[in-house]
Structure 1
């Protein structure tokens, strides 16, 4: 185990040193280097890249309990590989993967049928080739305008070629092959990780992958009913191909380009706006002078509608009716206010109002309270608004017609008792303005109403 950790440390150190050698000078012009004119097409971006990686291969994964596997003690070994990727969309790319390494494990399960308990296994993973889709989940950055970290997930399918051997309980070794060569199986690689941008076109790739093999002899030993799996944790470098003047599609931030375009146009518009402000200031000064002169001609200090320069009776009290020279004429209008007693008369009329079912005919018990409303309108010359409403039983058109007819019926009755028809407004709203739920009988009863508004 210590040897494997030493190997992994050396591999990680090598990759990090390589990244320093390949890294370019930091991008100090983020907004310009990462700028592409919005909606200008994918040819303005770098879409091809290659990658190399190395890491730890293990027959164990976090998905399975090793006590139930063919070999219960996994041993980690160095693995390495490479890929070439085509970025199709900012969030999706296709890559061809290559992987090579070794898998080892010990403490084999006992075969009940044969009584054999293998000591360990060793499998040379001579090569694997797969085509995978890589989905970029986000471009994360807390400091700059372009992405710095890209979490991703991958899934695909391919072929794995391997040759296992087993050390039996007696110390003998048994090798397995397919007609003298590698055993070939279909497998499905699924993984996740994230990439860190280290320079122009260089990314540090950290990931974890599980390979699901369509077979149970990856370790050369068939035990149980499960297909074999293996895991690969890796660190690597990805290099974008193409001109350095083009941003990478995988890390490109189109919002930043739109922002840059916006700022450029904003600057031009600001210059035009400053010039326009100067012209507007001059026009405003001329307009203020004109308004001052106009105000002198139209000033009406006492608010009687006659300008001061023509007003022969300045200081007329507010509300006084005046003639063309601004002097009072006739008798001042006496305002009449709606009292609580008046409101009670109207409320009684509403409470006692009843119609024949489905008709606009007022029932006789409603007449006395309506008579008192009519007398109130005659005595105080009030105005009255009648608003008819229904529940939602029946069609919209029928309800609207019925509500209007009932309001008109009340108006006709009040006019017949001496009220001024020009001061009564009758309107129907149908079922459009409920004051209670139409789902209950009590609610529908409240919605069948005529509202009186006295003013």
Structure 2
């Protein structure tokens, strides 16, 4: 335990020391300069690879209360891909694999002597908060302390060994040897710039497992946890000539921009103002002249969308569709054959709905499919008029007739018909074609009429 605390203390000391050294590049250099509020260009994607030691002991809580009192250091390795959203905030997807082991289980029923957990895989999404890259006087940081926290999911297998050396695979309550659990990774560390596209990554991470079965032994009332101290390399994606967002200092860029703007003398500024004023006066005169000329070229007397200068057919009646020269478009000739009418008539005769609903029965699908094909192939327009008998209230009948017409339109559109060429209207009980005093008459009045045009 003392050894682990010593390692943790050295890591924290390194972080504190690194935070005092983070600014190494003076603002006189402009290779990492990005104009404030310009949005770039900056590099935001990076990938990293690392390796280190996995142990069940952590810097949080009382390690003596864990299920196993003697930690073992095992090798672990992992990687990540990171997207930087601002100089201080990023999201990264982490992968970790390795082994965690320990000995001297706490006294209890069936106390094992040791455990070994093979972490087959783990994936986590974490927020990465970069510290120490905000300074007035330096454009780029060379050391970036950071904190991470997130959530992940992992799969592992655990074996426990008793005092006699007998090894037993651990199985959970469902009898599974391969166990999947959620965990919460929390970490800290710092990165050192080795070059424009490579960083050295030194970090320490504690993973809080959301169960007490990670070490195959359940004693006490706390969940298991393990730590990962690692060293690795981070590679920034993109051109090395483009600044990295994680090391770019927006505060310094604002200062640099301010200094540059105020480096000019009053005489130079006044000369520029006078020159711009003269240009503006000339532009204003030119603009006034241009506007006067444009006013003559932007008149559309008949409102058909074609300017008078290009309108070969002036005084077109309002609402007339015209071509690019302002002349009325010839109306297409629509030829509806007897076969087309037979297809529509067949659809009407086979149309059935569920009682009191707008749900089309399956019996009607085949004939409606033929109508949809007709609309697609010949680009016809179709009017759907829904009607009911006088059974029920007028409002209910009006709504039902409209819903049934809309249901047919929706079915035809789903089959490929042009929705803009189908009109669905409901008339309720207002237009009967037979008496509502008999069942046969009411049956005739409950209908949807199809009109091709």
TM superposition score normalised by structure 2: 0.51
Aligned equivalent of 1:145 = 139
The Cα of 1:165 is off from its aligned counterpart by 0.4
SS at match of 1:96: strand
Aligned equivalent of 1:169 = 163
Deviations along 1:20-69, one digit per CA (max 9) or x if unpaired, are xxxxxx9999722111122211x411111111111111100122333321
Aligned equivalent of 2:91 = 94
Structure 2: how far apart are the matches of 1:254 and 1:31?
Answer: 14
The Cα of 1:188 is off from its aligned counterpart by 0.3
TM superposition score normalised by structure 1: 0.51
2:72 to 57, 70, 75: 75
Whether the aligned pair in 2 keeps the contact of 1:60 and 1:66 (CA below 8 Å) is yes
Structure 2: how far apart are the matches of 1:259 and 1:143?
Answer: 8
2:193 to 191, 197, 201: 197
CA change 1:40–1:58 in 2 (3 A) is same
Larger radius of gyration: 1
CA change 1:152–1:186 in 2 (3 A) is same
Which of structure 1's runs of 4+ aligned residues deviate more than 6 A?
A: 26-30, 140-143, 273-276
1:52 aligns with 2:46: no
Whether the aligned pair in 2 keeps the contact of 1:126 and 1:161 (CA below 8 Å) is yes
SS at match of 2:184: strand
CA change 1:142–1:262 in 2 (3 A) is closer
Structure 2: how far apart are the matches of 1:52 and 1:259?
Answer: 35
Once the two structures are superposed, the pairs formed by residues 407-418 of structure 1 within 5 Å of their partners are none
Deviations along 1:207-242, one digit per CA (max 9) or x if unpaired, are 111100011111111111111000111111111111
Structure 1: how far apart are the matches of 2:131 and 2:122?
Answer: 26
The Cα of 1:170 is off from its aligned counterpart by 2.2
CA RMSD of aligned residues (A): 3.0
Once the two structures are superposed, the pairs formed by residues 277-296 of structure 1 within 5 Å of their partners are none
Whether the aligned pair in 2 keeps the contact of 1:31 and 1:257 (CA below 8 Å) is no
Structure 1: how far apart are the matches of 2:27 and 2:88?
Answer: 24
SS at match of 2:265: helix
SS at match of 2:268: helix
CA change 1:28–1:150 in 2 (3 A) is closer
Aligned equivalent of 1:225 = 221
The Cα of 1:256 is off from its aligned counterpart by 2.8
The Cα of 1:275 is off from its aligned counterpart by 9.2
Deviations along 1:307-351, one digit per CA (max 9) or x if unpaired, are xxxxxxxxxxxxxxxxxxxxxxxxxxxxxxxxxxxxxxxxxxxxx
Structure 2: how far apart are the matches of 1:266 and 1:129?
Answer: 51
CA change 1:27–1:61 in 2 (3 A) is closer
2:32 to 25, 31, 34: 34
Structure 1: how far apart are the matches of 2:136 and 2:113?
Answer: 51
